[in-house]
Structure 1
Amino acid sequence: MLAAVRRFVRFRSFRWKLIATAVVCVFLPAFGSWAASRYWIRDAVTEQAIAGARESLHLVDGYVSNLFDNMTYIANFIQVDSFLNSVLKERALGGRYAGPDAEFRRFSDQLAVIRTLDNLSIIGEDYFVTVLLPNGESFANYGRDEYDPSDILRKPWMANLRTLSGFESYWVGAEPNPFAGTGEYMLTMARPLRFSNSNVYGYVVVSIPERQVHQIFNKLAAGREMMLLDAAGRIVSHERPDRIGEVPGYRLDREAAIVRSGGRDVLLTSYPVSAVKGWRLVSLTPYREAVRKINGIFNTVIAIQLSFFAAFLIVLVYGLRRFTMPLVRLSRLATLVELGNLNVRSGVRGPDEIGKLGASFDSMLDRIQEMIREITMEQARKRKAELAMLQAQIRPHFLFNVLNSIRMKVLRRGDRDSADMIASLSRLMRLSIERSEETIPLHEELAMVEDYVRLMNLRQREKAILAIEAEPEALWAEVPRFVLQPLVENAVIHGLGRSAGLIRVRAGVRDGQLALEVSDDGEGMEPERLEQLRERLAEICAGKEGVASVREGSSGGSGIGLANVAERMRLRFGDGFSIRIDSAPGAGTRVEMRMPCRGGETADVQSDARR
């Protein structure tokens, strides 16, 4: 059987396989989900109902435990307060007030204790606080006309206080409320007060009206039957006072269960009271009411799933057929590219993954063709540059000999300045047309710049001042020939306008790169012209330009220009080269270049840049 299925599937198309797999993968989980939900829906719904009931009980516990925590806080305060301890212990030991003002001090202490007990009552809540001493004295924050505190000593649960140790408290539970207007019952906790030797010297009793608890039930758990049970399982708080004191006939050994009550199923949930050990909150909710909303959600979801399943299958099959058409086209295109045809394009577009794949495939082909064109153009530029270098390697020795003869004659006549100018011209020509090396040490490039400025000052009336600041470690760095001369030429001709001014050349090593800077204090450039030049340099550094056709320094000098320098440096150093130009009208121009620092051992040579 399995072999027959494999043979059947083997000769089907990729599109058919994809559609069949998608239908099966959607149908099986949908059917399984529907079947499982019908089987397990009751358990899931019950769990959700229990979780909701426990969350509600947790909220109620926060408020109820806050009431009981306040009762415990009052008892703790009375037990540890130094003033109350001193007065109560003195009274318990039968201490006498001596002196003419004894009665006044006795009355003042009693009044201070009562005021302290009054201040312990929380605003908005009724707390009845009583302190009892074995000698019959008592202190309370309520009037004795309402209730006689000594009656508490005759309560049957007072015997249980003698069995407590340390700071343990005894929670009495619900008792009839003697205070008018505060409900039928009250909840009480009591604790013995002890000397340092653990002997009892008094008792503190704190009570609250029971109605404060069932008011919390009505506020936070409306629509449910809520009750508070003590450690013995008796009801100590309920919205119906007649039920207080009863023992419910429910098993509370589980936190949640479905029980029968009044001929219907009821969800019983219990939750321990965090403030009193052994006490529990119990919630009774009709099961149908508890699960009605959740059951409706489940039924609605299942109905929607089944109603949309058939339509989804139709859309899925149609969509898969449409979505796989571009894949077939891309497969055919890949075959043509493999055969060497780079001019084909898929034309597949769209916001989905297949559309992005088609666009990326076409973009990749465009980029490959662009890279081929760039490589071809770059090779052509390199060949052209090599040809130019070969043409510049012609060595007309007779020109140098003639210039040297002229220099000697001028020198014999005593005109040393003219002789120095001729020597500078000779050195400049020798570096321009005789040297075949692609790179020279930076100090030779700086010497050539000095010769160039010396010759330019001979041609113009006002002289330009050249200041060279070169760090010793940068002087022996290898640089391409004529990397600085065109920039200095631009500064003389365009920056200073053949007028007097200062041209500053700086060289140093920064983070492993050779930093060269040429600046002048000339006219500067307008923002529009500066922006155009920056865009052109950016295009050159990005490899989008051919050999620079516009020469900024073509009116005299070498004619290479700033763009040509950038072009040559990019061809040589690639991404390792960067150039930046800054200028402002009337503030001069500054050009900074950075390139890899290469060269031989650094010699301990002091720059003669300050000449």
Structure 2
Amino acid sequence: MKTRVIHLVSSLSFRDKVLLIAITCLILPAISTFTVYNYLTKDAVKEQAIISAQNELKLTDEYLKKVFEDMLYTLNFIQLDTELNTIFKYPSSAIASLQEGTEYEEFINDQKVQQKLDTITLLDQKAYVTILLNNGKFYTNYSFHEFNPLNLKNESWFKILSKLKGYRSIWIAPQPTMIASERKNNQFQLSVARPLRDSNLGVYGYAVVTVMENRIIDILSSENTDHSMVLLNERNNLIVKNHYFDWKITEKMSEKLGRNTLDVMTIKDEKYLINSRELSITGWKLISLNPYDHAISKINAIFKRLFLVQALAYILFLILLVFLLRKILNRLVDLKNLAKKVQNGDLSVRSEAQGNDEIATLSTSFNLMLDKVNDVIEENTLTLTRKRQAELAMLQAQINPHFLFNVLNSIRMKVMMKGDYDSAGMISSLSKLLRITIDKHKGMIPFREELAINKDYIRLMNMRKRHVIELKMEVSIETSNIKLPRLVLQPIIENAIIHGLNEQEGHILIKAKYSHPIFTIEIEDNGTGMPKEQLKRIQGSLSHSEEEYSSQSGRSEGFSSIGLSNVYERMTLTFGENFLMQVQSEPDNGTKVSMFIPIQEEENHV
């Protein structure tokens, strides 16, 4: 029998073997899972019922916390409002003997206080505010006929207020409703009280904020429509209950609930799932009582439906697994056929396999390899084209050098014979600039020669302009012999003169240092700078230097025609993609162009 099974399995194809293994590995865990699942369902049902009740309790706690925070906020507003404190601490009656017209001032102050109190509400529920001052005055946002606020001084808790320290408050509940118009719909109310204290005057009054029980009942009922919920104070006395709480709590039962945190309790021969949560602000306890059978009925039904869904899912997954495995294995065949075409020299083919599995990853790598080969071919062609474009941009300014230099030297000699040495110097600087510009044999020059070129350029600009531009240099000696492409600083300096300094008086600072392997050059002016939008466009042109360079290659604007993008293009072609060029500028704070040049070989030094 064993031999027959081995022979049968060995006769299967690779695809059938994979399918057989996959089906076996799916069915065996499914049988084990259903067995264990049936055994553990009972405990899971109870655990899920407890978690569900705790989540409802947490949500209700958040709503209650919001109401209590709003009540404290009202007290803080009364305690910290500058205008209210001034009126409360120094009432007009206290200075009546010192100033005339205090009755009118007192009337105005009372109106200000009353106006602020009338606007105090808690979300969609009105808050009743009472302020009692030691001088006998009081303020409320309700009618005196509804309740005499002076009666609060007779309450037992009122004596505790003056003993409180700082901004501490006391919560009072349960408390019979004091507002006459609210007694019909609210048997109880909740209040928070605080003494009004000043570091110099001591306690000068008291503030009380009150809300009706309906507000709390609405919260307890809104999220718990199918079970009971109660709120107990720190002494385990009932504060408020929702409408679904249909049995009377005795003092003994209240204490039992207060001690309970999480359990199943039997009340009147019925089991209840008890959950308790302490409110962080008041220290009161929020307790939910959910009939146990009702609590687990929904979750138990969910588990049964889940069991059925899982059984159906296993069947569907089995069918889907067979289909997908066949499809995946067919993709391997397709990939093998594609490799044969590439082997025959066809680099245009691509794999169309999609997904995140190993076959798709292999197909993607295969496609990337083909793309890389094509990119290398295209990049080599593009690099040659770009080098030719850069050379063409430099050659556009060339003219016959022998004729031009002979003419310039003749002019310089005649000017010197006439005693105009400044003009002769200007012609000499121009001759040097033209010579280095059109000398096609000097592609790379030492950095010291580049600095000398720009000194001549600044000298020429100062001779033709009314405003003198000062060129400053802070250059390390080790940078002198580093080779750079010629005329990489001049376009940047020209832009600084024309656009940064607006051809006005100013200075340009060139800094250079070499810290292996990075050669850093900074060109900074003290001009007008540029706005963020313009700076962003310039920075963008450096990341699209090829298009920028191509658009400029057809224009002729003197030395500045090369432009920042042309400088970036030439430096990138010379030093590779690790070359970095940055432009920093702020309005009225000048502009700084920084170049970070990788120097990898000793051949870069003369």
Corresponding position of 1:218:
221
Corresponding position of 2:192:
189
Corresponding position of 2:232:
229
The answer to whether the aligner puts 1:166 opposite 2:161 as a matched pair is no
Out of 276, 283, 286, the residue aligned to residue 288 of structure 2 is 283
For 1:27, give the aligned amino acid. Answer: I
Corresponding position of 2:25:
25
Corresponding position of 2:265:
259
| CA distance, structure 2, for counterparts of residue 148 and residue 309 of structure 1 | 73
Out of 302, 305, 313, the residue aligned to residue 310 of structure 2 is 305
> Kindly tell me: are residues 220 and 350 of structure 1, through their superposed partners in 2, closer, same or farther at Cα, counting changes over 3 Å?
same
The answer to whether the aligner puts 1:474 opposite 2:440 as a matched pair is yes
- SS of 2:254's equivalent? coil
- SS of 2:33's equivalent? helix
The alpha carbon displacement at 1:302 in A equals 2.2
Q: Report 1:561-576 matches (<5 A).
A: none
The alpha carbon displacement at 1:173 in A equals 0.8
The answer to whether the aligner puts 1:270 opposite 2:272 as a matched pair is no
On the 8 A contact 1:237/1:244 being kept in 2, the answer is no
| CA distance, structure 1, for counterparts of residue 214 and residue 118 of structure 2 | 22
- SS of 1:474's equivalent? coil
| CA distance, structure 1, for counterparts of residue 172 and residue 32 of structure 2 | 56
> Kindly tell me: are residues 470 and 296 of structure 1, through their superposed partners in 2, closer, same or farther at Cα, counting changes over 3 Å?
farther
| CA distance, structure 1, for counterparts of residue 125 and residue 337 of structure 2 | 84
For 2:107, give the aligned amino acid. Answer: S
On the 8 A contact 1:177/1:185 being kept in 2, the answer is yes
Q: Report 1:483-498 matches (<5 A).
A: none
> Kindly tell me: are residues 252 and 348 of structure 1, through their superposed partners in 2, closer, same or farther at Cα, counting changes over 3 Å?
farther
- SS of 2:117's equivalent? helix
Out of 206, 224, 236, the residue aligned to residue 203 of structure 1 is 206
On the 8 A contact 2:84/2:113 being kept in 1, the answer is no
On the 8 A contact 2:351/2:367 being kept in 1, the answer is no
| CA distance, structure 2, for counterparts of residue 67 and residue 114 of structure 1 | 23
> Kindly tell me: are residues 281 and 14 of structure 1, through their superposed partners in 2, closer, same or farther at Cα, counting changes over 3 Å?
same
Greater shift, 356-365 or 240-249, is seen at: 356-365
Corresponding position of 1:98:
97
On the 8 A contact 2:271/2:291 being kept in 1, the answer is yes
For 2:290, give the aligned amino acid. Answer: T
> Kindly tell me: are residues 31 and 131 of structure 1, through their superposed partners in 2, closer, same or farther at Cα, counting changes over 3 Å?
same
- SS of 1:98's equivalent? coil
| CA distance, structure 1, for counterparts of residue 10 and residue 103 of structure 2 | 110
The alpha carbon displacement at 1:167 in A equals 1.3
| CA distance, structure 1, for counterparts of residue 25 and residue 276 of structure 2 | 44
Normalising by structure 1, we get a TM-score of 0.50
- SS of 1:159's equivalent? helix
For 1:233, give the aligned amino acid. Answer: N
Deviation per residue, 1:568-605 (Å, 9 max, x gap) = xxxxxxxxxxxx999x9xxxxxxxxx9x99xxx9xxxx
Corresponding position of 2:600:
none
Deviation per residue, 1:79-131 (Å, 9 max, x gap) = 33344434434569x94622795772585267347515633521753322222
For 1:235, give the aligned amino acid. Answer: L
| CA distance, structure 2, for counterparts of residue 100 and residue 328 of structure 1 | 104
On the 8 A contact 2:335/2:351 being kept in 1, the answer is no
> Kindly tell me: are residues 343 and 104 of structure 1, through their superposed partners in 2, closer, same or farther at Cα, counting changes over 3 Å?
closer
Deviation per residue, 1:392-418 (Å, 9 max, x gap) = xxxxxxxxxxxxxxxxxxxxxxxxxxx
- SS of 1:71's equivalent? helix
For 1:237, give the aligned amino acid. Answer: V
On the 8 A contact 2:236/2:255 being kept in 1, the answer is no
- SS of 1:163's equivalent? coil
Q: Report 1:320-469 matches (<5 A).
A: 320=325, 324=329
- SS of 1:79's equivalent? helix
Corresponding position of 1:425:
none
The alpha carbon displacement at 1:60 in A equals 3.1
For 1:273, give the aligned amino acid. Answer: L
- SS of 1:187's equivalent? strand
| CA distance, structure 2, for counterparts of residue 139 and residue 294 of structure 1 | 54
The answer to whether the aligner puts 1:121 opposite 2:120 as a matched pair is yes
On the 8 A contact 2:89/2:204 being kept in 1, the answer is yes
| CA distance, structure 1, for counterparts of residue 155 and residue 53 of structure 2 | 38
On the 8 A contact 1:267/1:287 being kept in 2, the answer is yes
For 1:305, give the aligned amino acid. Answer: Q
For 2:168, give the aligned amino acid. Answer: E
> Kindly tell me: are residues 262 and 471 of structure 1, through their superposed partners in 2, closer, same or farther at Cα, counting changes over 3 Å?
farther
Deviation per residue, 1:189-233 (Å, 9 max, x gap) = 222223415743332222221112112333343333222222222
> Kindly tell me: are residues 10 and 114 of structure 1, through their superposed partners in 2, closer, same or farther at Cα, counting changes over 3 Å?
same
For 2:285, give the aligned amino acid. Answer: R
The alpha carbon displacement at 1:58 in A equals 3.7
> Kindly tell me: are residues 305 and 349 of structure 1, through their superposed partners in 2, closer, same or farther at Cα, counting changes over 3 Å?
farther
- SS of 2:440's equivalent? helix
Percent identity of the aligned residues? 29
Corresponding position of 2:534:
none
Corresponding position of 2:71:
71
The alpha carbon displacement at 1:330 in A equals 8.0
> Kindly tell me: are residues 248 and 99 of structure 1, through their superposed partners in 2, closer, same or farther at Cα, counting changes over 3 Å?
same
The alpha carbon displacement at 1:250 in A equals 4.6
For 2:278, give the aligned amino acid. Answer: P
| CA distance, structure 2, for counterparts of residue 313 and residue 144 of structure 1 | 78
- SS of 2:121's equivalent? coil
The root-mean-square deviation of aligned C-alpha atoms, in Å, is 5.9
Greater shift, 128-137 or 324-333, is seen at: 324-333
Could you tell me which runs of 5 or more consecutive residues in structure 2 were left unpaired when the two chains were aligned.
378-393, 400-433, 444-483, 487-549, 555-569, 575-602
| CA distance, structure 1, for counterparts of residue 130 and residue 485 of structure 2 | 86
The answer to whether the aligner puts 1:178 opposite 2:171 as a matched pair is no
For 1:202, give the aligned amino acid. Answer: G
On the 8 A contact 2:146/2:181 being kept in 1, the answer is no
> Kindly tell me: are residues 168 and 189 of structure 1, through their superposed partners in 2, closer, same or farther at Cα, counting changes over 3 Å?
same
| CA distance, structure 2, for counterparts of residue 85 and residue 357 of structure 1 | 76
> Kindly tell me: are residues 97 and 138 of structure 1, through their superposed partners in 2, closer, same or farther at Cα, counting changes over 3 Å?
same
| CA distance, structure 1, for counterparts of residue 129 and residue 255 of structure 2 | 35
| CA distance, structure 2, for counterparts of residue 138 and residue 361 of structure 1 | 86
| CA distance, structure 1, for counterparts of residue 301 and residue 439 of structure 2 | 84
For 1:104, give the aligned amino acid. Answer: E
Could you tell me which runs of 5 or more consecutive residues in structure 1 were left unpaired when the two chains were aligned.
375-441, 448-467, 478-510, 514-579, 585-593, 602-611
On the 8 A contact 2:353/2:363 being kept in 1, the answer is no
The alpha carbon displacement at 1:236 in A equals 1.0
Q: Which runs of 4+ in 1 moved over 6 A?
A: 5-13, 328-334, 347-350, 352-365
For 1:61, give the aligned amino acid. Answer: D
| CA distance, structure 1, for counterparts of residue 272 and residue 365 of structure 2 | 64
On the 8 A contact 1:350/1:356 being kept in 2, the answer is no
For 1:267, give the aligned amino acid. Answer: L
For 1:281, give the aligned amino acid. Answer: L
| CA distance, structure 2, for counterparts of residue 364 and residue 255 of structure 1 | 65
> Kindly tell me: are residues 256 and 117 of structure 1, through their superposed partners in 2, closer, same or farther at Cα, counting changes over 3 Å?
farther
Greater shift, 260-269 or 71-80, is seen at: 260-269
For 2:78, give the aligned amino acid. Answer: I
Corresponding position of 2:110:
111
> Kindly tell me: are residues 201 and 327 of structure 1, through their superposed partners in 2, closer, same or farther at Cα, counting changes over 3 Å?
closer
| CA distance, structure 1, for counterparts of residue 298 and residue 152 of structure 2 | 50
For 1:119, give the aligned amino acid. Answer: D
